[in-house]
Amino acid sequence: MLRKSTEIVAQYLNGLKFLESIYDLLFRFIKDMLKGRADIHLIKGRVKSKKSFLDKILNKNKIYENLWDVTDLIGFRVVTYFDSDLPPLLKLLNKHFRTDKEQSVDKIKMLKPDQVGYLSIHRILFLPDEIAKVILTPWAAHFRFELQLRTYLQNAWDHNSRGLDYDNPVILTPSLKRKLYRIAALLELADIQFSEIKKEVEQFNKKVLRNVDCEKYVIPINEVSLKRFVQKDQVIISIEKKISEALNVDLVMSKGFIELVPFNLKWLGFSRLNQLRVYLEDHRNEVCDFAVKRLAHHQILPQGISVWYMCYHKVCSTSKEELKKYIEENGIDFLPEFHSPADLTDSLYQDFEMISNSK
């Protein structure tokens, strides 16, 4: 056994640089596979260190015949935000990799009711064909690596429990065991609850989008409903088309901008899309002229800019004093900075009066 272990260690040391090159290829492959996914918090990996490798090879509980019997020479960890993100990722892995089912384990299911821990899903995977073909070695088709899937909270358990040696029966007193049970239970419950909340929010947002598409506008104004409204409603599309043509600029969707506008609308008393639609329909020409006058010399503007200037029009219609108060709390103007809210108030109100008097 010692001779065999010595041979395997020599194989590892001689092939370390080669393992690092395989790791680089796999890391790029996995990053490309997960590119653009909003449910990924972290992707990290490593080639097994010399110390960790020696600890594993010299472990008498398992005998390795050759280097490639070690299935975690290369390892990756993918961390998601929610527990509900894991099943879609498993489907994605099955699409791109062959799985060694005998070696792969769901450690969450393996945990006994009387054991402490909060674990993750471990998959032992074969190299994808794209990489196996590049390596051009007889063992490429048999080479395996480990990929762990876990949630943000599962990852937190792993990091915070390291060094505690909580599975040592001497250290794990009944009192300590009870504390660890509580932490593990709370984290697992939090994962479940976050996933349920996420699902409910997604269902609510889908309903909002369906209502906007059907022009059912008696719904609350939020980032989701306003973004869809700006993209779909014919009144606002016609106003923004006029602004775009008058200024010869492109309008693009800006998440940061759309996130700001609902707060301004709430300040003015607009709580539902139907209220916003009625005001825009009644004042479409004034809002358009106001925006055009204020936004000259811009090469690009955010979609929804008409709603921004509708807010200015609405508050200017109340009083100059109210406009100043609105600016102090919400005002952002797409022009060079003014020295004070009073300067911006004077400028906006002067343009508002000029447009109003011309009608």
* pLDDT, tens digit (0-9, with 9 covering 90-100), for 228-252: 999 999 999 999 999 999 999 999 9
Convert the pLDDT of each residue in 41-51 to its tens digit: 999 999 999 99
Helix, coil or strand: residue 29: helix
| Encoded tokens for 140 | 């490429």
- With residue 337 as reference, give the H or E element that holds it: none
Per-residue CA distances from 222 to 46, 195, 219 (Å): 42, 21, 9
Convert the pLDDT of each residue in 187-230 to its tens digit: 888 988 999 999 998 898 899 889 888 889 999 999 999 999 99
Per-residue CA distances from 321 to 107, 197, 293, 325 (Å): 64, 42, 22, 6
Q: Cα(326)–Cα(270) distance, rounded to whole angstroms?
A: 14
Q: Which whole number is the average pLDDT over 114-128? A: 76
Q: Can you give the pLDDT at residue 235?
A: 94
Domains in the chain, CATH or no CATH each: 2-163 (3.30.460.10), 223-358 (no CATH)
Q: Can you give the pLDDT at residue 108?
A: 58
Q: What angle do CA 80, 85, 89 make, to 5 degrees?
A: 90
Residues in the chain: 359
What confidence category does residue 66 fall into, taking pLDDT thresholds of 50, 70 and 90? confident
Residue in the structure block whose two tokens are 């609350």: 220
pLDDT at 312 over 70: yes
What confidence category does residue 58 fall into, taking pLDDT thresholds of 50, 70 and 90? confident
- Reported pTM: 0.69
Question: 173, 143 in Cβ contact below 8 A?
Answer: no
pLDDT at 181 over 90: no
